[in-house]
Structure 1
């Protein structure tokens, strides 16, 4: 297998080689290269100390206790190259961070502390002689005429088998860092892999430990899971591992809540429907995907089954909104994320009817926000597909067409092509409520298509108003 490295990566390897240090590319970059994926996220490990690293790459930045020096990445400015000293870790008092970092002497020590076998590989330039510090059990594979793969935990085999497997004892790995459980699920979803049986059982056993982790970090992993190419499969792992019950118990309660009843298109229970809706959501926006996942989360609380077998969920969107607010606060959403999240959940039931007036459609736009309308439509389509319905309907297509037309009309007085200053200038008025009244009258005439929204037409109408008042 031929491996081609970016110039900046090869330069780092060459610099450390010439300085007499061991240097290896490690982590996800090795995994991605073996899978034929393009990566711009490069990590290195070396036997050089942080101080020695800075002598080799003087432009680096070192300001942490983990032995990592950051250097600019010309191919991805927001993902600097990370060069870390070999290290081992001792003690984990908060199920996340080691209590003690020890600079290592051997590459094997560094690789053995990593989370999963697919991330515990390294490759080195063959110009560097194989270090005596690498265990005799370490398997090597020539990748090209220039590089050698170092794979002590058979990560390449797990890539071929499409398995996420913990390095060593999975129970120990997750007690060291409980966030690794979410990482296992997320990486499996990103790569389309399964989780190895013993590793998965350890996640199920230790799932409650995820509550020890900062909510910001949990949200970060959850967002990556939802944004992955396989969010449906990932959410099944998320649920079956017990992590859903710990992180999103409101979503767990949706499973088993029936929806199928006379006159309704739904064929799945609420929980399955929500996962299916996420599967079909075409938006690339993670907040929209998350809103799609939980838009009906209030249905268990509003479930009613009538004597004729009809199932109702009256006002479930209101209850769902309150639950969404709680989830957003619990997971530490930013204000911008929360605002959009709440809007999408609150208004996902917007009416689509051939008898809607332009005013009704403008009201939908005001409630949802023009900037959110495409994502709201993506949620609506996903909602339909996730319930067993067709992707669209003639009513929905007509609604989309009318949205385009209505957007050509002003939404508020401020969208008129004239303003209060224009009115005061033409009528020689002073500021006051009379100016606002004139603008309101003009706005209504534009909305009702009595006049066009262009400056000359509106000025002409203002002059007519002046004549009528004389």
Structure 2
């Protein structure tokens, strides 16, 4: 409100525009706020001396008090930024990425006419918090109500102006659950090849938003239906129509989509791994029909994913995590054949911090194969064993003192008596964790030093074993295993 008022008080027009208007009309809280005005960037900077103008598109960043939803203060930030952009009309896009030059317009109508989709081409004239005027020249409100993505004016022109709009349309389809209007859809198909002009960094940003959306599989599938996928991720496109074997009811591509759809994790790396875990199956397939094989598709797939995500400019951290998950997604586990030693090897190989994500990938893989139960008994049993072996063993290492303390403070000679005293202390700490204090333990150790510890040590052993059994029972009940 204050930004708009200040601009208007200087004799200029000011409107709220873009995605924030769409969000407001959809009864959602906008994450960002954008304004459009007939004031030039230089005039905007004059109105807001603390603002910054560091681009060629007529957009000035105006600093405002921090806000979280509905302008509540956010103490964690010094300021937020509202983008104020001069009305503009854009000239020819020779590289399909950006206008050759930006020309400032005089009217709001000219500005709204150059926007991508009708739902984003609505402006608000705010008079007060309760009173505002909607400027909707292209029936964007109707499209929002009907959940429709429709290009402003001629769809071919819009996509030829800025090819990134192709992935934006698909991303909105995935994020908002809106359908793409037929003429806009046909224009997407016709102009799909233009996506090759867009920088990989920008494509990556759109892909991330699709994968993290509420309908990620629908977004990826729309990329395939419009012909965009073969230009962005040809490795995934190669699985279209390729059958698997008797263990699968879906084609390779369909299985990858379904795995993404059913992925239980919201982490980007796990969702990417779910989408790409079988990326090497088309090239490793041997034979036809129900007995086809895909030997080493996990390891070969990891190499493909590393190269592919690198091409799309993902960070090394994300690439390494996705590669690790894809490379190990075929891990074998059967409660009757695999014991604690093998589970320790798995933890050592992938890292304890990655085990949960690997299990989530396995669940996605299973559900993506049409299996009704994503977490069968053997997977729950694996979780049980992982928790069991990853927990610190119940031992005297838990105590706040050790044998060296006893020898130093109690002048005890090295020998079995030290171990006996520590075992008794451990048994007592198991009963009462509050006793695990160095000073208290030393006092108690001095008392025990004069006693016959053989019987006490036997009691300590019994208490320690009892605690181990209790912990194991609790972990088993947690994971519903026997």
The TM-score with structure 2 as length reference comes to 0.77
1:271/1:11 CA distance change after superposition, 3 Å:
same
Is 1:399 aligned to 2:390, yes or no? Answer: no
- The 1:292–1:34 alpha-carbon spacing in structure 2 relative to 1, beyond 3 Å, is same
CA drift at 1:425 = 12
CA distance in 2, matches of 1:335, 1:273: 27
Tell me how large the CA RMSD over aligned residues is.
Answer: 2.7
Instruction: Please name the residue that 1:95 is paired with.
Output: 96
1:12-70 CA deviation, whole Å, 9 max, x = no partner? Answer: 12222222221100000000111111112100011111121122222211111111111
Q: Which residue of 1 aligns with 2:286?
A: 304
Aligned partner of 1:168 in structure 2 is 153
In structure 1, what is the Cα distance between the partners aligned to 2:132 and 2:34? 16
1:325 alignment partner in structure 2: 306
Task: Tell me if structure 2 keeps the 8 A contact 1:260–1:268.
Answer: no
After superposing the two structures, state which structure 1 stretch, 396-405 or 64-73, moved more.
64-73
Runs of 4 or more off by more than 6 Å in structure 1?
422-427
The SS at the match of 2:106 is coil
- Greater Cα shift, 353-362 or 180-189: 353-362
Q: Which deviates further from its counterpart, 351-360 or 77-86?
A: 77-86
In the alignment, structure 1 residue 315 sits paired with structure 2 residue 284 = no
For 1:71-86, list aligned pairs within 5 A: 71-72=62-63, 74-75=66-67, 80-86=81-87
- CA deviation after TM superposition for structure 1 residue 423, in Å: 11
Structure 1 segment 291-440 matched on structure 2, within 5 A = 291-305=273-287, 309-354=290-335, 355-389=337-371, 390-409=373-392
CA contact (8 A) 1:163 1:196 kept: yes
Q: Which residue of 1 aligns with 2:51?
A: 60
How many correspondences in the alignment?
Answer: 397
Query: Could you list the per-position Cα deviations for residues 211-241 of structure 1 after superposition, in whole angstroms to 9, with x for gaps in the alignment?
Result: 1111111111011111111112212211100
Q: 1:41–1:79: 8 Å Cα contact kept in structure 2? A: no
Once the two structures are superposed, what CA deviation does each residue of 1:78-105 show, in whole Å capped at 9, x if it has no partner? 9621111111111112111111111111
* Structure 1 unaligned residues grouped into runs of 5+: 1-9, 128-143, 411-415, 428-453, 457-470
C-alpha displacement at 1:282, in angstroms? 2.1
| 1:255 to 1:79, Cα distance in 2 relative to 1, 3 A | farther
SS in 1 for 2:100: strand
Distance 2:130 2:201 in 1: 44
Q: Are 1:27 and 2:28 an aligned pair?
A: no
Does residue 227 (structure 1) correspond to residue 212 (structure 2)? The answer is yes
1:177 maps to 2:162: yes
Structure 1 CA distance for aligned equivalents of residues 345 and 392 of structure 2 = 13
CA pair 417-331 structure 1, distance change in 2 beyond 3 A: farther
Q: Do the aligned partners of residues 152 and 306 (structure 1) sit closer, same or farther apart at CA in structure 2, a change above 3 Å counting?
A: closer
Q: Contact 1:67/1:85 (CA < 8 Å) preserved in 2?
A: yes
Offset of 1:288 from its aligned partner? 1.5
Assess if the C-alpha contact under 8 Å between 2:284 and 2:296 holds in 1: yes
Moved more, 176-185 or 48-57: 48-57
Q: Which has the larger radius of gyration?
A: 2
Deviation at 1:361, TM superposition (A): 1.0
CA distance in 2, matches of 1:115, 1:191: 16
CA displacement at 1:314 relative to structure 2: 1.3
Name the SS for the 1:98 alignment partner.
coil
Structure 2 unaligned blocks of 5 or more: 69-76, 408-435, 439-482
- Which residue does the alignment assign to 2:134? 149
Shift of 1:426: 12
Distance 2:403 2:299 in 1: 42
Q: Where in structure 2 are the equivalents of 1:173-252 lying within 5 Å?
A: 173-252=158-237
**Distance in 1 between the 2:339 and 2:138 partners?**
65
- The 2-side partners of 1:210 and 1:370 are apart by 40
